Amino acid sequence: MPTALITGVTGQDGSYLAELLLKQGYKVIGMVRRTSTINFDRIRHIQDEIEIVQGDLLDQMSLISILQAYRPQEVYNLAAQSFVPTSFTQPVLTGEFTALGVTRLLDAIRIVDPSIRFYQASSSEMFGKVREVPQTERTPFYPRSPYGAAKVYGHWITVNYRESYDIYACSGILFNHESPRRGLEFVTHKITNAAARIKLGLADELRLGNLDSRRDWGYARDYVRAMWLMLQQDSAEDYVVATGETHSVREFLEESFSHVDLDWEAYVVQDDSLYRPAEVDLLVGDASKAGRQLGWEPTVSFSELARLMVDADLAYWERRQRRDAASSA
């Protein structure tokens, strides 16, 4: 039974990847940081099947100790400060987690067992002010936020450890991927959650920033499959993972609200405070290398994604309403 360590196991991708690896017969070690209140919402259903261990990307010794204790064959580094607006207000902390954290983990691998296979969660945010359309593995980076800049560092330090120490280290340049487990602060889930709440009479407006930016949105469950595939190849390489389609925030609104027969324009309020100091206007990826070499392709379309997220939010709020009604009866 192979052993895999996942940092960021409590996040959206960590929870789906843990499910996938358990299905493949892995022993899964999930690294979580110490907090005064535990939040295992996304992994509660598999909590008994995972070994949870405390560690922090800010603490080198914790990483070394975990590798020494569990001796994983694969390490998936999904932990990060991943919200772009927070990276503008906490740029140094974002750099510590999202950039230097990668070096701490790679160094721990180099010291404990350089034969460990390593996956780094790189991001389409590295392309920022895009130099070409669509973006490929060869497109130059031009990050537009402290988050994007930190991910560029994480990306290149991964390449550097591969080339310097012959570590099997891959970087997946993943474009936006979403699901009902997406954090509520990200625009897709903010929209689908609002559509569901408005439909049920629980809210009457949705405040948003820039509606014109365009993203290549896919389904998170598809994207964690690509992570695993990257670590099963003969040699370590970097891959773009994307759907190849781009849509605006406006189109995501249209798709989500029309699914519950609402006109989004009646509810959306544009809020200047939600604009970013610098924006990424357009992202669209070319995942043909992943298709060719990994046999990977997305299975969920843009409109299926919006609809499955709205349906999940509707089901959640209907359950909450029934529970509240029962407890007040």
Residues of this chain that bind ligand F7E (CB under 6 A): 82, 84, 123-125, 175-176, 185-188, 190, 208-210, 213, 215, 249, 274, 276, 279-280
Q: How far is the CB of 231 from ligand F7E (least distance, A)?
A: 20
Cβ closest to ligand F7E, residue 70 vs residue 88: 88
128-to-147, 276, 322 alpha-carbon distances in Å: 11, 13, 44
Interface with ligand NAP (CB under 6 A), residue from 33, 197, 250, 276: 33
Pairing mode, strands 268-270 and 74-77: unpaired
Asked if residue 74 binds ligand NAP (CB under 6 A), the reply is no
Q: 274: which 2 tokens? A: 């939600």
Establish if 117 lies at the interface with ligand NAP (CB under 6 A): no
d(CA 220, CA 161): 27
> What single-letter amino acid sits at 214?
R
Among 47, 54, 89, 183, binds ligand NAP (CB under 6 A): 183
Q: Which residues pair with 259 in a beta bridge?
A: none
Q: Which of 10, 87, 139, 243 binds ligand NAP (CB under 6 A)?
A: 10
Place of tokens 């996304």: 42
DSSP element (H, E) containing 152: helix 146-165
Distance of alpha carbon 101 from alpha carbon 251, whole angstroms? 36
Cβ closest to ligand F7E, residue 121 vs residue 167: 121
Position closest to ligand NAP via CB: 11
Q: Which is nearer to ligand F7E, 67 or 226 (CB)?
A: 226
**Separation CA 171–CA 169 (nearest Å):** 7
The residues that bridge with 130 in the sheet, in sequence order, are none
Query: Residue 242 interacts with ligand NAP (CB under 6 A)?
Result: no
Instruction: Between 78 and 300, name the residue whose CB sits nearer to ligand NAP.
Output: 78
**Residue of 4, 5, 13, 29 that binds ligand NAP (CB under 6 A):** 13
